[in-house]
């Protein structure tokens, strides 16, 4: 039947009894089959030369471009007890609106007048500082007056010392003169005595000479006493000058010691004032933390601390919020092998969960229901899932993203690469080659420019 053997039996077969065999042997059926095969081959060739956009498929979720637009948790800065709630889940609050009020649980802050009392203490300390300033000014005035008095007294004593020195000099000169006169009178007496013994002078002359000599000796002794008295006065003037200096130095040292003590006490009081100012500010800020305020316009999503009277620890979470205004973005994760192919500013097509779409991977223009995006940022470190995170923002030149899109929704993204024929893409897939990475010389020149 297959005409394999040379002994043919087809002439012995009645084809009227086998209609299927009759149809198969019909020549027209073979022609139709060949046409179908040929058309399929031509269609396959046409398809193989059609352009294909290389892409990287990845899934992720919707997020926000700025960190302050993402969901956040509000914590209690201070430990306290929930006294009153002003909101409930789902409410919209504006920036600065009161969300809750908590009361203190530490006995150090129970006093309702604690802030006023601390402010009064600070005021009293400030008055003490003013008193110390007045005391320091008074001591400085005394120091100035004593310094002036010391200057005048020392000048007076130095003048007195100079006068005593001149008197000593004068008395010394007088002593020398009287000493010379005595020596002259003594020599005259000695010569007169010799002449008397020789009989050339009378006894009266000798007696007169003796009287003059004794008178000169008396004057010499008086001048010597006067010189010693002047010298003693000079020494006394020097001692007085030294005593005056010591007295005024001691008085000035005492006043300076009082001044430094007052300044030291003033500095200690100023330190206490600064500490009290710090306490007043801390108490005021701590009191403001009793009111939990909305950091921005937002929606209350979930109350973590429930009820009235619940005690919170420092830094305990109170509730979570979602900002009212935000700029959406999409975050996706790609394999490390695909990271060199991705660059900031490249186009991306995104399909969001809840929005039906017909996606053709290689023909993004033919896809329906997808939205355009641009790569905004690429992480420089590996995520815990072993992939790199890519942040995508809206493409301003494409159709805007849906208004009903919410944070956390799923996203399926296609990162668009080079346009290549389909046969090249099939050949690349069969051989396990990566998408086109190396750029042409023209592209490199344009990138440098």
> Is pLDDT of 99 > 90?
yes
Task: State residue 91's pLDDT score.
Answer: 92
Q: Residues of 134-145 as b/e, b for ≥16 C-beta within 10 angstroms?
A: ebbeebeebbee
Identify whether residues 118 and 243 lie together within a single domain: yes
Lowest mean pLDDT among 133-147, 206-220, 429-443: 429-443
> Is pLDDT of 449 > 50?
no
Identify whether residues 134 and 206 lie together within a single domain: yes
> Is pLDDT of 37 > 50?
yes
Identify whether residues 240 and 345 lie together within a single domain: no
Average pLDDT over residues 232-249: 87
Q: Which pLDDT tens digit goes with each residue over 282-308?
A: 999 999 999 999 999 999 999 998 888
Q: pLDDT category, 354, cuts 50, 70, 90?
A: confident
Task: State residue 438's pLDDT score.
Answer: 46
Task: State residue 441's pLDDT score.
Answer: 44
SS (H, E, C) the chain: CCCCCCCCCHHHCCHHHCHHHHHHCCHHHHHHHHHHHHHHHHHHHHHHCCEEEEEEEEEEEEEECCHHHCCEEEECCCCEEEEEECCCCCCEECCCCEEEEEECCCHHHCCCCHHHHHHHHHHHHHHHHHHHHHHHHHHHHHHHHHHHHHHHHHHHHHHHHHHHHHHHHHHHHHHHHHHHHHHHHHHHHHHHHHHHHCCCCCHHHHHHHHHHHHHHHHHHHHHHHHHHHHHHHHHHHHHHHHHHHHHHHHHHHHHHHHHHHHHHHHHHHHHHHHHHHHHHHHHHHHHHCCEEECCCCEEEEEECCCCCCCEECCCCEEEEEEECCCCEEEEEEECHHHHHHCCCCCEEEEEECCCCCECCCCCHHHCECCEEEEEEEECCCCCCCCCEEEEEEECCCCCCCCCCCCCCCEEEEEEEEEEEEHHHHHHHHHHCCCCCCCCCHHHHHHHHC
The domain that contains 138 carries what CATH number?
Answer: 1.10.287
Identify whether residues 223 and 362 lie together within a single domain: no
Task: Give the pair of three-digit tokens for residue 169.
Answer: 């000099």
Q: pLDDT category, 102, cuts 50, 70, 90?
A: very high
212 or 246, higher pLDDT: 246
- Does residue 393 lie within any of the structural domains? yes
Identify whether residues 264 and 121 lie together within a single domain: yes
Q: pLDDT category, 442, cuts 50, 70, 90?
A: very low
> Is pLDDT of 444 > 80?
no
Identify whether residues 188 and 63 lie together within a single domain: no
Q: Which of 323, 343, 366 finishes a domain?
A: 323
Domain interval for residue 91:
71-104+290-323
> Is pLDDT of 398 > 80?
yes
Lowest mean pLDDT among 22-31, 185-194, 201-210, 355-364: 355-364
Task: State residue 274's pLDDT score.
Answer: 92
Identify whether residues 205 and 119 lie together within a single domain: yes
pTM: 0.59
- Does residue 109 lie within any of the structural domains? no
Average pLDDT over residues 50-60: 77
Identify whether residues 136 and 30 lie together within a single domain: no
> Is pLDDT of 443 > 50?
no
Identify whether residues 389 and 297 lie together within a single domain: no
170 or 50, higher pLDDT: 170
């Amino acid at each position: 039947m297959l005409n394999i053997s040379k002994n043919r039996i087809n002439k012995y077969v009645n084809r009227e009894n086998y209609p299927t065999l009759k149809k198969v042997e019909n020549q027209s059926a073979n022609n139709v089959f060949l046409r179908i095969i040929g058309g399929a081959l031509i269609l396959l060739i046409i398809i193989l030369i059609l352009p294909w956009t290389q892409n990287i498929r990845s899934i992720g979720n919707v997020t926000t471009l700025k960190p302050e637009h993402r969901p956040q948790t509000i914590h209690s800065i201070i430990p306290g007890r929930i006294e009153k709630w002003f909101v409930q889940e789902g409410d919209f609050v504006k920036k600065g609106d009161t969300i809750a009020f908590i009361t203190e649980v530490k006995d150090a802050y129970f006093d309702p007048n604690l802030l006023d009392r601390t402010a009064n203490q600070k005021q009293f300390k400030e008055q003490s500082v003013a008193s110390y300033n007045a005391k320091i000014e008074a001591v400085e005035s005394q120091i100035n007056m004593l310094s002036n008095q010391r200057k005048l007294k020392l000048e007076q004593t130095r003048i007195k010392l100079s006068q005593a020195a001149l008197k000593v000099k004068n008395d010394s000169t007088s002593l020398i003169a009287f000493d010379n006169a005595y020596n002259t009178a003594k020599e005259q007496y000695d010569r007169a005595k010799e002449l008397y013994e020789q009989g050339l002078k009378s006894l009266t002359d000798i007696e007169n000479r003796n009287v003059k000599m004794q008178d000169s000796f008396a004057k010499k002794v008086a001048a010597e006493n006067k010189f010693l008295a002047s010298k003693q006065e000079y020494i006394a003037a020097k001692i007085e000058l030294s005593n005056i200096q010591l007295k005024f130095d001691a008085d000035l040292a005492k006043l300076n010691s009082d001044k430094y003590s007052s300044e030291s006490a003033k500095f200690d009081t100023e330190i206490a004032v600064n500490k009290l100012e710090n306490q007043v500010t801390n108490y005021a800020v701590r009191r403001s933390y009793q009111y939990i305020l909305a950091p921005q316009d937002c929606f209350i999503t979930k109350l973590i601390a429930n009820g009235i009277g619940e005690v919170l620890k420092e830094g305990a979470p109170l509730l979570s919020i979602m900002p009212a205004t935000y700029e959406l973005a999409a975050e996706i994760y790609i394999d490390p092998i695909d990271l060199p192919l991705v660059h900031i500013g490249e186009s991306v097509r995104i399909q969001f969960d809840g929005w039906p779409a017909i996606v053709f991977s290689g023909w993004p223009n033919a896809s329906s229901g997808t939205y355009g995006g641009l790569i905004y940022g690429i992480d420089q470190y590996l995520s815990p899932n072993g992939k790199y995170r890519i942040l995508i923002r809206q493409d301003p030149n494409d159709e805007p993203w849906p208004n009903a899109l919410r944070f956390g929704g799923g996203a399926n993204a296609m990162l668009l690469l080079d346009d290549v024929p389909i046969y090249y893409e099939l050949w690349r897939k069969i051989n396990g080659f990566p998408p086109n990475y190396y750029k042409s010389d023209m592209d490199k020149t344009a990138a440098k420019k």
